[in-house]
């Protein structure tokens, strides 16, 4: 890679790193795994930078790589270590939003991996049905049905957890 391409790559990654990390966390609910996923994505983007930079929408390309990398990890659970306990996250969260964030994470955990990916891409990142379908490599109809089922599941989970609190 030439110096100018490397500078362009670094600028691209620097601007998007925090967003990718948050998106990875929303998908996997583990800051350490989110960091690992982002590292994998950065490596893949670096290896294919000429293709990425020549894409019509490099952001969508990177988001697809992130989402597909997470789905690949979900398919290989035997390759991941399972923690014995949960450590408190000492991240940079705002104290008044911590409860909402934790509840959102619990609700998203109740979704199947593909539904979670669709819901996060559609409603957190505000991608259209077509963009989400392209990012995940599925049909627009599948995005619509997974969105509907995911939202229905989230409503049921929110209702049941709200009546228990």
Per the listing, tokens 């104290």 go with 95
Can you give the CATH number for the domain in which 45 is found?
Answer: 1.10.1740
117 and 154 in a single domain? The answer is yes
Q: Which of 66, 87, 108 is the last residue of a domain?
A: 87
Is 133 in the same domain as 149? yes
Question: What is the torsional sign of CA 129, 134, 139, 145?
Answer: negative
Q: What is the pLDDT of residue 128?
A: 92
pLDDT of residue 162: 65
Q: What CATH code is carried by the domain that includes residue 155?
A: 1.10.10.10
Whether the Cβ atoms of residue 111 and residue 119 lie closer than 8 Å to each other = yes
Asked if 32 and 107 sit in the same domain, the reply is no
Domain count for the chain, please give it.
2
Question: Cα separation of 14 and 1, whole Å?
Answer: 18
pLDDT by 10s per residue, the chain, length 165: 788 888 999 999 999 999 999 999 999 888 999 999 999 999 999 999 989 988 899 999 999 999 999 888 877 765 555 565 666 565 555 554 667 788 888 889 999 999 999 999 999 899 999 999 999 999 999 999 999 999 999 999 888 876 555
Q: What's the CA gap between 12 and 31, in Å, rounded?
A: 22
- Determine the angle formed by the axes of helices 129-136 and 140-164, rounding to 10 degrees: 100
pTM of the model: 0.55
What pLDDT score was predicted for residue 84?
59
For residue 136, the number of C-alpha atoms closer than 13 Å in the C-beta half-sphere is: 27
pLDDT at 9: 92
Range of the domain at 158: 94-165
What is the rounded CA–CA span in Å between residue 140 and residue 1?
Answer: 36
Distance (Å, rounded) from C-alpha 58 to C-alpha 54? 8
- Last residue of one domain, picked from the residues 87, 122, 156: 87
Helical ranges in 2-139 per DSSP H? 3-28, 31-47, 49-53, 58-75, 98-109, 113-119, 129-136
Contact by Cβ (8 Å): 49, 124: no
Here the tokens at position 90 are: 């000492």
- Residue 98 shares a structural domain with residue 140: yes
């Amino acid at each position: 890679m030439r110096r100018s391409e490397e500078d362009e790559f670094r600028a691209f990654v620097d601007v998007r790193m925090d967003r990718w990390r948050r998106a990875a966390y929303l998908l996997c609910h583990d800051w350490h795994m989110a960091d690992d996923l982002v590292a994998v994505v950065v490596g893949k983007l670096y290896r294919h930078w000429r293709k990425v930079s020549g894409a019509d929408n490099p952001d969508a390309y990177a988001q697809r790589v992130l989402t597909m990398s997470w789905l690949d990890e979900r398919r290989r659970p035997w390759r991941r270590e399972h923690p014995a306990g949960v450590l408190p996250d000492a991240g940079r969260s705002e104290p008044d939003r911590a409860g909402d964030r934790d509840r959102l994470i619990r609700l998203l955990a109740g979704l199947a991996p593909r539904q979670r990916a669709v819901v996060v891409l559609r409603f957190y990142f505000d991608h259209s049905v077509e963009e989400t379908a392209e990012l995940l490599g599925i049909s627009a109809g599948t995005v619509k049905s997974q969105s509907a089922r995911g939202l229905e599941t989230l409503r049921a989970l929110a209702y049941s957890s709200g009546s228990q609190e």
